[in-house]
Amino acid sequence: MEEIKDVVLNYVIEEYLEEDDEEITYDTPLISGGIVDSFSMVSLKRFLENEYSISIPDEKATPEAFDSVNKIVALVREFTG
Amino acid sequence: MSNIGAYNERIREFDWSIAEKELDYSEGNIINIGWYCSDRICLQGKGDRVALFWEGFGGNEKQFTFNDIRVASNTIGAFLRNLGIKEGDRVCLFMDRIPELYLSFLGVLKIGAIVQPLFSAFGDESLHVRLENAQTRAIITQRKHLSKVRKILDLLPWLEHIIVVDYDNRKPLQKNEVAFSLEDAEPVDQCEIFPTKSESPSVLHYTSGTTGQPKGVKHVHYSLISQYLTTKWVLDLQEDDIYWCTADPGWVTGTSYGIIGPWSMGITQAVLDTGFSAEAWYRFIEKYNISVWYSAPTAIRSLMKAGDELVKRFDLSSLRHLASVGEPLNAEAVLWSEKVFNKPFLDSYWQTETGSIMITNFPGMKVKPGSMGKVFPGITGTVVDPKTFEPFTEPGKVGLIAFKPGWPAMMRTYWNNDEMFRKKFKKGWYLPGDRASLDSDGYFWFIGRDDDVINTGGHLVSPFEVESALLEHEAVSESAVVAKPDDVNMEVVKAFVTLKPGYEPNNELELKIMNFIRKKLSPLAMPQEIEYMETLPKTRSGKIMRRILHAKEWGEEIGDTSTLEEDE
């Protein structure tokens, strides 16, 4: 089964990276790095909720918690156990 | 002592000639914003002063003196001239907040062309309608945004030049594309400034309305008079200040007060071109000793969410004056800023069409938290009855904000749409489309928009534009878009849709539709929620009744529904 971090990384690359953007890693800053803006973060949150059948409360969906693939994975794991 | 001094005295003795004298301008003279923001400052002996501290991703830093921005804007202007760009041509700036964006702004103005700044997060459809409307001749952009331009190029016969400021030779350039590198270009020390006059067009900003396509708001070089004086008196910029305007120059705040205002005063400004993070913002203030900070309620509320403890980790003692714009600043945010920064954010009100600040809380004035403040000297503003368009004679009544036209930065028209421009005036008042009340002390209190336009994070989104784009999705049969209340952004976009046969209403489809709009229009326009409906409420002739859906979202009385299935 594909690891969560690869699923998230691939989704971010496919959905949010512009042509000619630098390659990203699991630790690349997504929000503070300007790859995913605060409005688009809502669609990323929705993707995680759909993909892992979880519900992430708004107070947990902070720019800091979404700032890298690794941080997102940690957040998802809080809810998937 | 603040620049404005005593507000009541300024009101009594006000004349726009105060700004004209300070800028050495007399009626009939040449007035060119590009020259005022760079050459004139150098002629005043401030060429070595830093004009721009810039920081981008990964700690990348640059700085430019006023002489640097003078030469760089000359160089860009000369490059454009060599391409054949001439006075009156529209040149779109479609870049992130990189230095070239700020320098190109001045360069385009110096040759008499019109700057059309567009938010770089716009998708190809948003870009297309705006470039088509303006019949834009050239666009200055970055590699990362080229794919959006290429996608629509064949639809834009007027777009002759696509200038790429960071071309790296890795992939071949395509039709109409040309590379320009500020670092590699031969610096142009002397550039013939086009002799623009007060009514020469300068900036074309696009804004959204309830119906129809976005409108191009035409400003002229004389707007400098308002922008200079409001910057001086409201933002209170002083000689040694380091100023930070967090707005993107794709929007009017980012040009009026993120370029023209501070640089026409010869003030150093700092720009952070990264995404939002409370920690990064505080670090930026500490690092550059920001003293005057002009931001937006959405950002302030996001900082509030990050907590008080984070603020204490940074030395923010350089902050002297804080101001806010974009949407009404709630009282809690004002009180919070007093608590953590020891000074309140002072709210200001204006819009793309007004070009400069109209109503505001001035330094030294008693702040009523939650109020918009008072009119800027020289502005005649009131609240009028929405039916008669006569000013209310009693305080506290809710009506339409209204201004007497005639201030220097007032838009001159909507591009190719004089009819729409004329509709903004009733009985000699300019109506910005917002509702408010006016108290007995002359303070305005914001109530809301007078139309269906959605104000999300300080940016206006047209429900019509989103509804039209939704209909282009293969699954969507009908759509209606309204504002939904939001703690941080004040409002966000919510869509109601019915689906075509064969499509199942589920979460996966919702996400697909959200992403479709995000890429086609912009992240701002992306519905943050989509509700599937069997049918949408309509009049008998088939017109969708947004007001019923809006009332549902805001928990308001739906009111008279007798027109449901009837024509309104």
Preferred mutation among B281, B514, B531 to probe A, highest tally of A CBs within 10 A? B514
**Inter-chain residue contact A49 with B507, CB threshold 8 Å:** yes
Give B523's contacts in chain A (Cβ within 8 Å): 37, 39-40
Q: Residue B147: what pLDDT?
A: 93
Q: Which residues of chain A have a Cβ shorter than 8 Å from any chain B Cβ?
A: 15, 18-21, 29-40, 42-43, 46-47, 49-50, 62-64, 67
Mutation pick from A12, A16, A17, A43 vs chain B, by most beta carbons of B within 10 Å, is A43
Residue of B57, B146, B147 lying closest to A34 (CB–CB): B57
Q: What is the structure's pLDDT at B327?
A: 84
Over chain A, what is the mean pLDDT?
90
- Min CA distance, B123 vs chain A (Å)? 11
Q: Which of A20, A30, A39 sits opposite B144 (nearest CB)?
A: A20
Strands B50-55, B268-272: pairing is parallel
**What's the confidence (pLDDT) of residue B567?**
42
Identify the three-state secondary structure at position B64.
Answer: strand
Which residue in the block uniquely carries the two structure tokens 């809690």? B332
Residues from chain B contacting residue A31 (CB–CB below 8 Å):
275-277
| Residue of A38, A41, A44, A71 for testing the chain B interface, max B β-carbons within 10 Å | A38
User: Hey, are the CB atoms on B275 and A19 less than 8 Å from each other?
Assistant: no
pTM of the predicted protein model: 0.92
Instruction: Indicate the residue of A46, A49, A67 with minimum beta-carbon distance to B277.
Output: A67
| Residue B70 pLDDT | 98
pLDDT of residue B547: 86
Q: CB of B111 within 8 A of CB of B75?
A: no
| In contact, B532 and B500? CB cutoff 8 Å | no
pLDDT of residue B37: 98
Averaged pLDDT for residues A34-57: 93
Shortest CA distance from B507: residue in chain A: A50
> HEC string of B160-174?
CEEEECCCCCCCCCC
How close is the nearest chain B Cα to the Cα of A42, in Å?
Answer: 7
> Taking the mean position of all CA atoms in its chain, how far away is CA A71?
8
φ and ψ at residue B123, rounded to 5 degrees? -85, 180
In this prediction, the residues of chain B whose per-residue pLDDT falls under 50 are: 566-568
Instruction: Give the one of B96, B277, B457 whose C-beta lies nearest to A31's C-beta.
Output: B277
B143 chain-A contacts, CB cut-off 8 A:
19-20
Reading the block at residue B379, the tokens are: 């502005």
Show residues of chain A in contact with B147, CB under 8 Å.
Answer: 18-19
In A, minimum Cα distance to B486 occurs at A58
Cβ separation B147–A47 shorter than 8 A = no
Are A47 and B511 an interchain contact pair (Cβ–Cβ within 8 Å)? yes
* C-alpha torsion angle, residues B332, B444, B208, B244 (rounded to 10): -60
pLDDT at B562: 59
Note whether A33 contacts B57, CB cutoff 8 Å: yes
3-class SS string, B43-54:
HHHHCCCEEEEE
Q: Which residue has the tokens 């809502």?
A: A42
- Is B147 in Cβ contact with A43 (below 8 Å)? no
**Reduced 3-state DSSP string for B112-145:** CCEEEECCCCCCHHHHHHHHHHHCCCEEEECHHH
Output the pLDDT for position B564: 56
CA distances from B97 to B121, B177, B249, B283 (A): 11, 21, 8, 18
Tell me, what amino acid is at B241?
A: D
Non-local CB neighbours of B514 within 8 Å, separated by 6+ positions: A42, A43, A46, B526, B527, B528, B530
Do the chains contact at B526 and A43, CB–CB below 8 Å? yes
Query: pLDDT value at position B568?
Result: 40
